[in-house]
Amino acid sequence: MEYSLITTLEHLDQLAPEWNDLLAQSIVNVPFLRHEYLRAWFQTLGGGEWPTGELAVVIARKDGGLAGIAPFFLTERDGEPLLALLGGIEISDYLDLIARPEDLTAFAAGLFDFLAERAGLPAWRGLELYNLPENSPTLAALQAESVKCGWTCTVEQFRPAVHVPLTGDFETYLAGIDKKQRHEIRRKMRRAEESGLGVCWYIVEDESTLDAEIEAFIALMAHDHHKEEFLTEVMRTQMKKSVHAAFRAGWLQLAFLDVGGKKAAGYLNFDYDNRIWVYNSGLDFSFRDLSPGWVLLGYLLQWANDNGRREFDFMRGDEEYKFKFGGIQRWVMKVKIRQ
């Protein structure tokens, strides 16, 4: 494999089609590794999460074709220069290296050689990689190559993540969760439908309305005090860039529950790789009696089953409601490597 370093957005943009094609065949195929998502992320460094950052993406080619991507950027933590994954840490739930299963071992070996040689890389002292899925083969590959290089490598559980396997039939899905919760979901959906308040829900499909819908969703988020604090101006910019990128690429699912012409709840999801990825939500608490969040989740789960999605991924966080909808816990990991 032939390795090279990408340090400019112009060069990064030239990789877009190849990047996404490789991701579709990669060991981990998640929306947070899409070229358009990571480009939007880098423009604000994760909505201001990182004060500094320089592109340091390492790519490998085999027989002329793109065979591996280490989507790194150079940053600092406590004065120490580090390589981290684009997308990390807080707003991108799953990250990884990008390579086909059959190429991963060779790509990782060459990557460590490239990093050791520091070919064009600014000074760095370690790698900090967050949000790798617990079942990613990258974890074992990084540990093995660290041993060969005499570097230290620690792998730890970072945060829980919750997903719901889907059956393709809403009633079958409901039959598989706790009986009490099954009845509660049905009861709340039925109560909303029979309320006489004009309850309906929809997924945003018209790009001409997208900016207004994004603003409405952010306003719903801001009803929660903690989310309001999270929504700094730069974070709002980040969200808007990410939503537009996902819409243009065809994997946005922005959904609202409407009550009498007013938005009572919203879910910002990604509809990608035959899964629904639940990214964020917002509620108008004045509609609390209708349980709008639960009701909209019920409709979205019904839609996902009816449309053949194989999984409904609540992603990071182990909030109780996720388990009431049949969630199963797994973990994302953090990897720290030092020379």
Place of tokens 């409901």: 174
| Per-residue pLDDT tens digits for 32-43 | 999 999 999 999
| Per-residue pLDDT tens digits for 12-21 | 999 999 999 9
Q: Which residues contact 48 (CB under 8 A, 6 or more apart)?
A: 232, 234, 235, 238
In the three-class reduction of DSSP (H, G, I as helix; E, B as strand; rest coil), residue 300 is classed as helix
Question: Is pTM beyond 0.75 here?
Answer: yes
Predicted local distance difference test score (pLDDT) of residue 121: 74
Predicted local distance difference test score (pLDDT) of residue 274: 97
Place of tokens 């990064």: 12
Q: Please, what is the angle between helix 35-48 and helix 233-249, to 10°? A: 170
Q: Which of 306, 239, 218, 250 is nearest to 31 (CA)?
A: 250
In the three-class reduction of DSSP (H, G, I as helix; E, B as strand; rest coil), residue 19 is classed as helix
Number of continuous H segments (helices) and E segments (strands) in the chain: 12, 15
Question: What is the helix (H) or strand (E) element at residue 6, kind and residue range?
Answer: strand 2-6
Q: Does the pLDDT at position 120 exceed 80?
A: no
Mean pLDDT of the chain: 96
Domains of the chain: 2-159+333-338 (3.40.630.30), 167-309 (3.40.630.30)
- Reported residue count of the chain is 339
Contact 263, 284 (CB under 8 A): yes
Q: Which of 85, 75, 72, 62 is nearest to 3 (CA)?
A: 62
| Per-residue pLDDT tens digits for 149-181 | 999 999 999 999 999 999 999 999 999 999 999
What do you get for the CA distance between the two ends of the chain, in Å?
23
Contact 281, 261 (CB under 8 A): no
Predicted local distance difference test score (pLDDT) of residue 7: 95
| Per-residue pLDDT tens digits for 242-300 | 999 999 999 999 999 999 999 999 999 999 999 999 999 999 999 999 999 999 999 99
